[in-house]
């Protein structure tokens, strides 16, 4: 079985893929839409793309392409902790504190703001297209005393030496990935997780005060817990929003269908994006 993922190699997305789909073939794609198209075109059976708090891609692109173009079911979710390390070429392992330049993805540089401010004040940094690209870059120019911020996998892949571990500002830093597939694949068996989530896309009838409140009533009186709610603009004009709502339960026969029927009676259109096992992967 082939698993497409947002590349390049040694990014956080590949980390997630390696943990969960160890024995499958992994195919990197350069963009999130390209990765989803590969599933639609049957080039791969599964795709893994970042959904939330992503480093190497945009959450908005994932949601927009999923809801408005690709229309693939979500069959699973993988959450991994994001740990950023400082690494240099092995030749520069002794003198890393004198590094003259720091390379990384712009988001990773921002995430390590406090560390860089304390240890490398005034040292210029250069943002490159991914953390993996940064690790590759410092390995190609050992004569320059430069450091990269990247993950464990990138250090291994390119042979860089990690000189400071976990240099990110916030301890609790996670990325949430979704697994997309049109095939009948049981992610519960693959992941071993029995914790389910259900994701709905809800479009309100019009931009009216209190419409969202009515929608949430449908969940509240059924005691269905929401783990996330996010409004996203429709691509049709200003002020038109749809909502992505995550429910902390598996799709059942009574409660969720009842809530959907109630929202539809209020004039909403409701689309089930998936009801899937969610796994939290520890990288240590």
**Which positions lie near a second copy, rule CB under 8 A?**
30-34, 37, 53, 56-61, 64-65, 68-69, 106-107, 109-111, 113, 117, 125-130, 169-174, 207-210, 212-214, 216-217, 219-221, 223-231, 233-239, 241, 243, 280
Residue 149 or 162 with smaller CB distance to a second copy: 149
DSSP conformation class of 212:
H
- Residue 60 CB: number of other CB atoms within 10 A? 12
Task: Check residue 70 and report its DSSP letter.
Answer: I
CB of 282 to a second copy, least distance (A): 12
Distances from the Cα of 57 to the Cα of 11, 70, 122, 129, 189, angstroms: 11, 17, 28, 10, 28
Joined together, the tokens standing for residue 134 give 């940064």
Minimum distance, C-beta of residue 93 to a second copy, in the bound complex (Å): 26
Alpha carbon distance 206, 239 (integer Å): 9
Which CB sits closer to a second copy, 26 or 107?
107
The DSSP call for residue 173 is -
Nearer to a second copy, 27 or 110 (CB): 110
For the bound state, the minimum distance from the C-beta of residue 90 to a second copy, rounded and expressed in Å, comes to 26
Pick between residue 23 and residue 235 the one whose CB is nearest to a second copy: 235
Name the minimum Å distance from CB 68 to a second copy: 8
Smallest distance from the beta carbon of 235 to a second copy, in angstroms?
Answer: 4
- Give the residue with the Cβ less far from a second copy, 185 or 260: 260
What phi and psi, each to the nearest 5 degrees, are found at residue 122?
A: 85, -10
Closest distance of CB 221 from a second copy, Å: 8
Q: How far is the CB of 210 from a second copy (least distance, A)?
A: 4
CA nearest to 13, candidates 46, 56, 44: 56
Return the half-sphere exposure (C-beta side, CA atoms, 13 A cut-off) of residue 203: 11
* Of residues 37 and 262, the one with the C-beta less far from a second copy: 37
C-alpha distances in Å from residue 234, one per residue of 63, 69, 159, 202, 203 = 11, 13, 45, 11, 9
**Cβ contact 15:132 at 8 Å:** no
Task: Kindly state the DSSP code that residue 30 receives in the 8-state scheme.
Answer: S
29 within 8 A of 6, measured Cβ to Cβ: yes
Residue with Cβ nearer a second copy (20 or 102)? 102
């Amino acid at each position: 079985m082939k698993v497409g993922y947002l590349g390049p190699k040694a990014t956080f997305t590949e980390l997630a893929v390696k943990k969960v789909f160890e024995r499958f073939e992994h195919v990197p794609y350069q963009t999130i839409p390209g990765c989803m198209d590969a599933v639609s075109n049957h080039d791969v059976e599964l795709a893994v793309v970042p959904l939330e708090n992503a480093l190497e891609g945009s959450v908005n692109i994932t949601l927009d392409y999923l809801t408005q173009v690709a229309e693939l079911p979500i069959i699973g979710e993988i959450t991994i902790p994001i740990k950023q390390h400082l690494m240099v070429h092995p030749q520069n392992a002794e003198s890393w504190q004198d590094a003259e330049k720091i390379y990384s993805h712009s988001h990773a540089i921002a995430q390590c703001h406090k560390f860089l401010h304390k240890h490398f004040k005034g040292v210029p940094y250069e943002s490159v297209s991914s953390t993996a690209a940064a690790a590759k870059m410092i390995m190609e120019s050992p004569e320059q005393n430069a450091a990269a911020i990247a993950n464990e996998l990138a250090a291994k892949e390119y042979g860089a030496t990690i000189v400071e571990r976990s240099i990110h500002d916030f301890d609790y830093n996670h990325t949430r990935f979704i697994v997309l597939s049109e095939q009948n694949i049981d992610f519960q068996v693959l992941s071993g997780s029995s914790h389910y989530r259900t994701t709905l896309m809800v479009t309100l009838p019009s931009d009216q005060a209190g419409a969202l409140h009515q929608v949430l009533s449908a969940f509240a009186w059924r005691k269905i817990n929401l783990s996330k709610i996010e409004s996203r603009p429709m691509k049709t004009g200003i002020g038109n929003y749809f909502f992505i709502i995550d429910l902390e339960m598996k799709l059942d026969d009574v409660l969720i269908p009842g809530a959907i029927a109630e929202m539809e009676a209020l004039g909403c259109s409701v689309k089930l994006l998936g009801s899937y096992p969610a796994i939290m992967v520890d990288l240590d």
